[in-house]
Structure 1
């Protein structure tokens, strides 16, 4: 009876989203001198009798005693590769897995010197890769036949949210920074998040907060501050604010503004009425004015035509 042996060990990931998959050896024994090929962005782990035997990075390997001294110290390699041996072989994708999503399912509580305790929601994306295959296998992957990035992503979502809250508290970041400078916040949060991923043999190559949602009262405060920063003419700003307030029904400020405007209009109307003229000397009677007109004519200061015209005009007043 011929015993089948594995002579060539290599594998292309059946799915690009796989983090880890078991080499399909169908319980065959590995022949002494078998060739192992590990491609770039791959690592291979050998498991013998439940224990990690060795890890191989990119390259081509001939599996014999000279090349793999670690294996010879384990029970499964007591014959020094002089006879076939058995091992569980796991392949790992070690390239970056990008644009994984995270978010806070419930608001995260943070402390702020100006607003006290504030609840915020946040969500974003991150990139990771496996940097410690043994730790990842022991702490997370276990002996599953395969493990996909989507499974890990779903589990990490619930893991990241509380860690994000802890990191936010440790960073002592103000609400102003959260609302106005997400780039700076990303740079502060990423190194604080990394230790929690390192426990699983993972590296966070990028951590991004895409958006942070603040409470309505905080947003209203920012709107007022931003508006005041743009004010250059306080008189115009006051007029603009009053006009906005007057447009709103049942508004105390608007009602007061309307009353003030009405009083101002009334005051302007009163001020625009000219004061009564001071009383002058009583007008002369017609007889006196006729006498003066005759004196002017006799003195030669007016001619006959002027005298006659003025006289007729005065006589009409009688």
Structure 2
């Protein structure tokens, strides 16, 4: 029985399939007479012999290797199974789907900003997509030395590059540091192009890159939010009043800030007094200007004589 056990046929298939596995290699076993190849949907099978690609099979199905596979192999087309001989070859199974991966910056990235010597620290997150594009390059660079390859392996490589690429594309063309989300499409497009070039030699292709959000430090985000709300006021005087009122209310709510609230109240009172004084001065100036530019009456207010545009009445001498 021991003499014949190796003559039994075997099945060549992706035995350790995982959704996050990019490829898996069937190797170190002999393909025997009567063996079958099983290719499932979403998989391609690549026959390798002595490290060389012999054939690529992309249609899913159940195949007899001797009659349906070997005749199509480049240098093994004439191979014949003997009574006690098999074929030692490797079969690389490749996942053909497009993978979607979530990414996020582990640490804050200091984006250069003219007004901040240390840079503006931000975080970001999003997704990217990739797939296998070139089998020959994949085998030369990765599959030739690995039995399998996971999405996590690609994610680690991508995230190692993201900090520099985010800095590059945010700083390019003078993007608004405090409104990065408005420019996220252009930033994403630039990063996608650079990442695709980085993975080009491995046979992988980055098919998409998206930025979901940018996150600023809490203090900066608070400043941005307040600036937007004050901008809606539209009037500098009202802006000052709202700011002072905020300080006054916060002081009333916290007993320990009573001095701050008193100061805010005094400042608001002084500001309002200055505004009233300016308003009165402006009103007086406008009234004087109106009196200086007033028109002459058509009739003399003393004798009723019709005026002729002169400064004095031609009948009684009344000043007009």
* TM-score normalised per structure 2: 0.63
Residue aligning to 1:286:
none
2:20 pairs with 1:17: yes
Identify which of 29, 32, 35 aligns with 2:31: 29
- CA distance in structure 2 between the aligned counterparts of 1:57 and 1:171, rounded to whole angstroms: 45
Match of 2:244 among 239, 242, 245: 242
Residue equivalent to 2:300? none
Q: C-alpha offsets along residues 137-164 of structure 1, whole Å, 9 cap, x if unaligned?
A: 3323444333333444345433444444
Spell out the pairing of 1:184-223 with structure 2 (5 A cutoff): 184-215=186-217, 218-223=220-225
| Partner residue, 1:82 | 80
Deviation above 6 Å: which 4+ runs of structure 1? 250-254, 262-265
The answer to whether the 8 A contact 1:171-1:189 is kept is no
After superposition, the CA RMSD in angstroms is 3.8
Number of aligned residues: 255
Question: 1:87-127 CA distances to partner (integer Å, 9 max, x unpaired)?
Answer: 111211111222x2322223323334665733322222222
Change (3 A) 1:196 1:27: same
How many angstroms apart in 1 are the aligned matches of 2:14 and 2:159?
A: 30
Provide the rounded CA distance (Å) in 2 between the counterparts of 1:21 and 1:264.
Answer: 76
Shift in CA distance, 161/54, structure 1 to aligned 2, threshold 3 Å? farther
Report if aligned partners of 1:104, 1:161 keep a CA contact under 8 Å in 2: yes
For residues 125-140 of structure 1, the aligned pairs below 5 Å read: 125-140=127-142
Q: 1:15-40 deviations in whole A, cap 9, x for unaligned?
A: 323222223x6622354x96645343
Cα offset, 1:178, TM superposition: 1.7
1:55, 1:171 → 2: CA distance? 45
Aligned residues of 2:175 and 2:183 also touching (Cα < 8 A):
no
Q: How does 1:284-303 map to 2 (within 5 A)?
A: none
Match in the other structure for 2:73: 68
Q: Deviations over 1:262-301 (max 9, x none)?
A: 7978xx9xxxxxxxxxxxxxxxxxxxxxxxxxxxxxxxxx
Unpaired segments ≥5 residues, structure 2: 252-256, 277-320
> What SS does the corresponding residue of 1:199 show, helix, strand or coil?
helix
- Aligned to 1:121, the other structure's residue is in SS state strand
With over 3 angstroms needed to count, the CA separation of the structure-2 counterparts of 1:107 and 1:259, relative to structure 1, is closer
